[in-house]
Amino acid sequence: MPPLDLLPPLLEGLTVTLALTAGATLVAIIASFGAGIARLSQSGFLRAAARVYIDVFRGTSALVQLFWVYFALPLLGLELPAMTAGIVVLGLNIGAYGAEVVRGALQAVPAPQREAAVALNFTPRQMLWRILLPQAILPMLPPFGNLWIELLKGTALASMITLNEVVFRGQLLRASTFRSAEIFSLILLLYFLVALGMTMTMRQLERRLLIGRDYGGVR
């Protein structure tokens, strides 16, 4: 029997994987910029809160985080569906790494740019949106691209909380057909193709920003 007969159920699982990736990506972007900017805030409380979030999610296993949110939170009165738990945990986990990317890129903006903003009497918010972020976005893209692919691969962990994504579908197929080599080869290929598309998307975005010189007006 050709391995292509295994594709339909795996593609059904892939749609769940892609939905999980998309939702977690949105959470990760919000968390990355929120915590990254908070790390540079003038508020001591915001800096401390961002530091705790980053240290906790970078210092603990994503799998344990998933288990805690999906299995332990219900004991405290908060029960989340598997998809929601996966989106929240994976997004916050990757967002903790992304926050350090944002912080580093903002701090890398040349000091004269900050001094010019102060001389023009910009508020901290104006400096952030008009000076720092436009120049920091481009250097953020390569590490963000890597984190995006790591997020895609991390969705496989969601199979451990019974989320019916591509790896979970593969395990069910393996149990019923015993065609392990074919099944997991196809899963590898699907992950590779999706990751390739994500890489090409980030490269295209980077090229567009370079062509437009969208780097804070600096040549």
Is 180 within a domain?
A: yes
CA 38 from centroid of its chain's CA atoms: 18
> Radius of gyration (Cα) for the chain, nearest Å?
21
Rounded to 5, what percent of the chain is helix, strand, coil? Answer: 85, 0, 15
Whole-structure pTM value: 0.88
**CA geometry: angle 100, 108, 151, nearest 5 deg:** 30
Query: Whole domain around residue 51: which residue ranges?
Result: 3-211
Is 100 within a domain?
A: yes
Alpha helices (runs of H) in 39-132, residue ranges in sequence order: 44-59, 62-67, 82-107, 111-119, 124-126
Is 216 within a domain?
A: no
Is 217 within a domain?
A: no
What is the rounded CA–CA span in Å between residue 60 and residue 92?
Answer: 12
Is 218 within a domain?
A: no
The number of folded domains in the chain is 1
CATH number assigned to the domain comprising residue 34: 1.10.3720.10
pLDDT digits (tens), the chain, 219 positions: 456 778 888 999 999 999 999 999 999 999 999 999 999 988 899 999 999 999 999 999 999 999 999 999 999 888 899 999 999 999 999 999 999 999 999 988 888 887 787 787 788 888 888 888 888 898 999 999 999 999 999 999 998 888 888 898 888 888 888 888 888 999 999 999 999 999 999 999 888 888 755 444 444
> Which strand (E) or helix (H) includes residue 181?
helix 180-211
Is 98 within a domain?
A: yes
What is the rounded CA–CA span in Å between residue 160 and residue 154?
Answer: 11
